[in-house]
Structure 1
Amino acid sequence: MVNLNGKLFSSEAEILTHKNRGLKYGDALFETLRCIKGDLFFWEDHYFRLMASMRIVRMEIPMEFTMEFLEGEIKNTIVENQLENEAVRVRVTVFRNDGGLYSPLTNTVSYLIEVEKMESPFYLISENAYEVELFKDYYVNRDMLSNLKSTNKILNVVASVYAQENGCDSCLLINTDKHVVEAIGGNLFVVHGDTIKTPPLADGCLDGIIRKKIIEIVEATEAYQFAEESISPFELQKADELFITNSIVGIQPISKYRKKVFKNEIGKNLVGKLNAKARMAQTS
């Protein structure tokens, strides 16, 4: 079952019309997160990112859209799907209500909550091969809209098709300055020795929640140095490790880029710290 504005519908129900602005114009934002037995991973971070994004795109934030209200709606949807004792993937989509062409008739919004069962309650490091390639057909813009978790993801879709056509698991995206920005499904981190580096938001990468948590972990760990700097494609084959982060997988190691095969030592170390951080957030 899915939750549309507080009402529960069968997941097969046809509840959105051809007038939906998320469908017609990509006029929507979304958050994906983990929920483990009723505990939402990093919910406060997700909530405040959603509220900030709604302000940036000039959506009207309803008075009832408190952190407690949306958390309750998510948990109610999980219970109605009989997943309260499971690891759950949650997606909350907020879209401007119907009406208008590019210029909307209203800035009021609706929300849709979807949930599905996951296998693992915590973040795990995959030992499977994961090969990436650079996607150079189209570019990420260096602006604030690129930082948002919006449904304007046609670049990511086309890059995913390119990856499938070329036998890769994912692609790395570049911006208009030809700097590597992120992967199709998350933020990118590059490891050189004890330095862990990720592109700055000014380069156009997603303002990812797990990106933020990894930065906090690295900055608090004496064994590592952190750098938030632009990444040249030429750096990739010189790196010791590459990994991708997002709220569902946590840390996805990259095993191969072109002819370079990468280690996966720091990624394994960080995933334990990430799980510990998630548990601390749940109990605080």
Structure 2
Amino acid sequence: MISENLPPPMSPQDSSSATSKQNATIAIQGLRYVRDREILKGIDWQVEPGEHWVILGPNGCGKTSLINCLTGYEMATAGDVFVDGAEYGRTDWREVRKRVGLVTSTLTFYLEPGEPVLDAVVSGRDAMINLVGEVDPTLRQEARALLNRIGCGYLTDSRWGVLSQGERQKILICRALMARYKVLILDEPCAGLDPVARERFLQWLQTLAREEGAPSMVLVTHHVEEILPCFSRVLLLKDGAVLCAGPKEEVMSPSLLSQAYGAPLQLIQSGERYVLQVVPEAV
């Protein structure tokens, strides 16, 4: 007997869309997030394997809410979120979250000052904070290799509380790589860094992106100066909606940025980097 409650067969278009979501690193469709107000208003966005994206927009545009829904720290009001083929709501969200590496200054408040750097890196394998008990020697060896790879081998025997801001950011990325995430999200990673430390950190990210087997990266920022050559695509948000998404050359235009930020802006390209300036209003 055929149940009357079975869903109708998928059309070729629906089937193609489902396959696309399954193959994408990130696939978001119709994402809405409502609390006291509608913060996200039907976001559609897709990241293919190997792509590096920037999420750009002014304060209050929904960047943080989008990342929180993507990493499972907030529950979306409506819409679909796929990470590496797994869908929130149909797969254990704790398992889906492990597929997204998140580097954010928020983690610095949870790591104990006395936490050994090596333990902080190892804890990334299972998305844990502050290890307790014995640790597999194989994991420690892998963590040491990662620290050496990113040029932080000298910090192996240090503790979290004595690290500089730039060193902490690198350790957090190393921690994320320990879990072999499919996508690495960097949420304002340069916040609190001085200009020299920021530039050194950004150049290190550029090197990381070029490594064979590097995960897709998503940089969340509102500073166009931080957009590196390796980031080839931009998601531009305004008032909780997608203003534009696509190749960097198309999205990074003075008219679109002026529309997003609500002020006349001039975009200056210096080599492969950008500088954004506010156009003075006529007196």
Q: Same fold (TM over 0.5)?
A: no
- Which of the two has higher C-alpha Rg? 2
Bigger share in helix: 2
Q: Which has the higher contact order (CA 8 A, sep 6+)?
A: 2
Structure 2-normalised TM-score? 0.28
